[in-house]
Chains A and B, each alone.
Chain A
Amino acid sequence: SQTIHQWPATLVQPVGSPLSLECTVEGTSNPNLYWYRQAAGRGLQLLFYSVGIGQISSEVPQNLSASRPQDRQFILSSKKLLLSDSGFYLCAWSLTGGVTEAFFGQGTRLTVV
């Protein structure tokens, strides 16, 4: 069966510090991968998605970047965090081909202080 791992679960970082959140998927090959941010009262905002290794699409301009160094690994990064980067970050995967459901990781609650 497929599983998705996302870590850490919580993170408190000072303004201006770097960020690296990692997500890995097991049990499937060539998944679509996604990073979402969930802010209070604003639903799920798609930040990045990837259909293959090294292929990253950004949905919104921001202080964040994403990379996919391996087929089932997706990393969310920032060189310098802003206060506004605080939120709940969710990694997700879906099968390729057709519109299929997204399977979400446990999420990372990031607080920038």
Chain B
Amino acid sequence: GQQVMQIPQYQHVQEGEDFTTYCNSSTTLSNIQWYKQRPGGHPVFLIQLVKSGEVKKQKRLTFQFGEAKKNSSLHITATQTTDVGTYFCAGSGRSGGGADGLTFGKGTHLIIQP
């Protein structure tokens, strides 16, 4: 079955440093989604990428979808304490059917030291 691997599992950074998490799929994806989960909270949708090579930005967050649609990355510039949490990627190999086609990575826990 489809597997989505995410690295690193944990990342400690000093406040103000950049942060990147990587997501790799064993199969070609039709799209990829990113979620953020604050400590003690629930995952919240951030963005969805659909096109090969797509790049999207949300303020300090940059999301990329690989040309082969098998990998993705999330980069945060100049981290702030509010960025603390776990970032999940979720890939789908199907273009329809809702989120039942989503396979979540294990997440990257971002820890920020002030």
Contact = CB atoms under 8 A, between A and B. Distances in A.
Q: Do A and B bind? A: yes
| Category for how many chain A residues contact B | 20 to 34
Interface string A34-72: 100000011111100101000001000000000000000
| Category for how many chain B residues contact A | 20 to 34
B16 interface: no
Contact of B100 (A57, A95, A104, A106): A57
A32 interface: yes
A101 B33 CA distance: 7
Given A99-B94, A105-B42, A43 B88 contact: yes
- Among A42, A46, A90, A102, residue most surrounded by chain B Cβ atoms (within 10 Å): A102
A102 B43 CA distance: 9
A97 B100 CA distance: 11
Given A90-B42, A107-B42, A102 B99 contact: yes
Given A43-B105, A44-B88, A44-B104, A104 B44 contact: yes
Contacts of B96: 97-99
Q: Which 3 pairs across A and B sit closest by C-beta, in order of nearness?
A: A43-B106, A101-B45, A32-B98
